[in-house]
Amino acid sequence: MYISASIKYSNGAYVNLHRSYPGVQKNSSNFDLWNREWFVEAPVDAVHVQGPFTSFFSKDQIFSISSKKEIWLGGNTKIVIVSMVDNLLTAFEEIIHGMQYPDDGFGAVIKADGSNQVIVWKQGIPIYDENTAKFKTVYDLDPNLASYNLTQNRVIRYTDSVGDDWLVSCTSFFNTS
């Protein structure tokens, strides 16, 4: 577990405190929360998904989920809490792949941020390009499916590039920023 706190004073100055468990405490301005995407982009009462990316420490593929809560104390004073958790992509894939789908169906997770990066796809199909260090897009895996807007809650009937007919159900997985 790793906890970071940053206190920002009214004059704009701030201090960072980091605590790693078990039992190691360190103070360093090298890790600056105010410059981290997950911290800056965390919305109030929703979640921000960042990644996937390679963990600096474990070298595993991970993604971060962050959120913000504001507590007003009165006047112009408030406490802002930003929480973030790193998630192993392999564990997330296991959840999606472990669900029951009819016939030869499968679950997929696609980033709805305009990139259409595929986070989870059919088992056995590689989705990460080691050469570019990026996840493949829907277009890379199924150009016919990529022609549809997959960010709307809806059902799509389409034919893939090998001629198989599909019924696709699109559902927002996270309320993300």
- Taking only the tens place, the pLDDT of each residue in 59-93 is 888 888 888 888 888 887 788 888 888 889 889 88
Confidence at 145, pLDDT banded by 50, 70, 90: very high
Hey, where are the domains in the chain? 1-35, 90-170
pLDDT of residue 23: 47
Burial code (b: 16+ CB inside 10 Å, e: under 16) for 55-71 equals eeeeeebbbbbbbbeee
pLDDT given for residue 143 in this prediction = 92
Residue 117 pLDDT class (50, 70, 90 cuts): confident
Look up residue 131 and give its two tokens: 């050469």
State the CB neighbour count (10 A cutoff) for residue 177.
16
Task: Give the residue-averaged pLDDT of 154-174.
Answer: 85
Report CA Rg, the chain: 20
Instruction: Give the DSSP H/E element, type plus range, for residue 140.
Output: helix 138-141
Residue 50 DSSP class: E
Instruction: Say whether pTM exceeds 0.95.
Output: no
